[in-house]
Amino acid sequence: MSADPIHTLSDLDTWSFAGTALAVLGHPIKHSVSPPMHNAALAEMSKCNARFASWKYFRFDIAPADLPVALEKLHVRGFHGINLTVPHKIIAFDLLPDVVLSARPIGAINTLLRTKGSWRGYNTDGYGLSNAIKEELLLVLGDKIDVLLLGAGGAARGAAVECIQSGVRSLYIANRTASTRDALIAQIKPLAANVPIHGLDPASLPNNLPENLLVINATSAGLKPTDPLPVDLTAFPRPRAVFDMIYNPSETGLLAQARALGIPAANGLGMLVHQGARALEIWSDAAVPVDAMRTAVHSAMKAHA
Ligand code: NAP
């Protein structure tokens, strides 16, 4: 586990760090591996550029109700960039008027860059997802791929927009609660002029699903060992690959089933690394050492285990 202390809102009243501060805000934040990942990258970047020697990434446990005041205080204290994790991504989108165009259809932001009077919001999760899928499953979303997306929460919303913007051939969205699935589809349909979108019940899939689907799990089913599978991989034609956004545990029930069936599969660690790398590029305007971030994340995960 990371040795970085967990800061709270009240620490900002006496904040005295003199360098360039970055931070992740979440609730809970105990298990975040973002501080070791970003601090490893900054250590590597400072070898070539001395300005990064004074940069440091912190973590804060901030309750949802405290997010507005936390963002104000972080700005007053001179923080340069912020990452947001559960449950802040959608709350911050609703709070901040300045959100880059690419993040607006998602309705959630995970990266903030300091501006003169406030913060500009970005969402780097879709970039992380498509880069991880390319790197680990050797698939390009826009390359005639049919996608079965599991889930309809915040992560699924980002994934659906990424699939549409990348030009997947078709998008099937399965979620156990029909109302949240239908709300997501209604929200993204206007963006998807050329991408057919279908809503499904994961417990009773139709028998005409395409072969070679890329399955993306964006549900939280799999976080606990007792969780049910978000979908049974034998209930439809053999998929070409499975990507599970969950990275802790490193092998969910869904990934274990994929492995047993010989289907290429990857967990969400690569997505975490690439979304973080993109955020650090936004803050630093410099090349980012993705390998150092990956190594740091792997060590932090081992320490967690
Ligand atoms: P969220 O907004 O709370 O959405 C949770 C989703 O999971 C909903 O669709 C929910 O379905 C579904 N779900 C929960 N428990 C389930 C179960 N037992 N069986 C079937 N479906 C279930 O969460 P989120 O922010 O979208 O995050 C989802 C997952 O993605 C989390 O595990 C998160 O850690 C992961 N994630 C990873 C990365 C990364 O960088 N690797 C980035 C973002 C998110 P209902 O609508 O039916 O409740």
Local confidence pLDDT in tens for the 305 residues of the chain: 446 899 999 999 999 999 999 999 999 999 899 999 999 999 999 999 999 999 999 999 999 999 999 999 999 999 999 999 999 999 999 999 999 999 999 999 999 999 999 999 999 999 999 999 999 999 999 999 999 999 998 899 999 999 999 999 999 999 999 999 999 999 999 998 889 999 999 999 998 999 999 999 999 999 999 999 999 999 999 999 999 999 999 999 999 999 999 999 999 999 999 999 999 999 999 999 999 999 999 999 988 77
The rounded Å distance from CA 105 to ligand 1 centre is 19
Asked, as a colleague might, if the bond just before 87 is cis with ω within 30 of 0, I would say yes
H or E stretch covering 274: helix 269-284
Q: Are 58 and 38 in contact (CB under 8 A)?
A: no
Mutate to test the pocket of ligand 1, among 85, 90, 220, 232 (most ligand atoms within 8 A of CB): 220
- Which stretch of DSSP H or E encloses residue 40? helix 34-48
Q: Residues 6 or more apart from 297 whose CB is under 8 A from it?
A: 33, 36, 37, 269, 272, 273
248 Cα: distance to centroid of ligand 1 (angstroms): 13
Tell me the C-alpha distance between 303 and 305, whole Å. Answer: 6
| For ligand 1, atom 39: residue with the closest CA | 272
Q: Identify the residue whose C-alpha is closest to ligand 1 atom 45.
A: 177
Asked if residue 164 lies in contact with residue 192, where contact means CB atoms within 8 angstroms, the answer is: yes
Exposure string of 74-104, with b = 16+ CB inside 10 Å and e = fewer, is bbebebbbbbbbbebbbbbbeebeebeeebe
State how far Cα 58 lies from the chain centre.
Answer: 18
CA gap 24, 22 in Å, rounded = 7
Q: Whose CA is nearest to atom 17 of ligand 1?
A: 221
What span, in angstroms and rounded, lies between the C-alpha atoms of 247 and 80? 28
**Cα–Cα dist 136/273, whole Å:** 12
Q: What are phi and psi of 21, to 5 degrees?
A: -100, 140
Q: Residue 61: beta bridge partners?
A: 26
Question: Ligand 1 center to residue 254 CA distance, Å?
Answer: 14
Nearest-CA residue for ligand 1 atom 19 is 221
pLDDT value of residue 4:
83
The DSSP element (H or E) to which 291 belongs, if any, is helix 290-304
- Give the alpha-carbon dihedral of 90, 192, 159, 239, to 10 degrees: 150
* Residue nearest (by alpha carbon) to ligand 1 atom 38: 245
Write the CB contacts of 305 (distance below 8 Å, at least 6 apart in sequence).
none
Q: What are phi and psi of 193, to 5 degrees?
A: -50, -45
89 is catalytic: yes
Tokens 């947001």, residue located:
84
56, 89, 189, 224: the catalytic one is: 89
Alpha carbons 302 and 305: distance in angstroms, whole number: 5
pLDDT at position 3 = 66
Exposed/middle/buried for residue 50 (C-beta within 10 Å: 0-12, 13-18, 19+) = exposed
Q: What pLDDT is attached to residue 2? A: 45
Among 219, 224, 232, the mutation site with the greatest number of ligand 1 atoms within 8 A of its Cβ is 219
Looking at ligand 1, which atom is closest to the CA of residue 267? 41
Q: Which residues line ligand 1 (CB under 6 A)?
A: 86, 125, 128, 151-156, 175-177, 180, 218-221, 223, 227-228, 230, 245-247, 268, 271-272, 275
Backbone φ and ψ of 136, nearest 5°: -100, -30
The Å distance, Cα 26 to ligand 1 centre, comes to 16
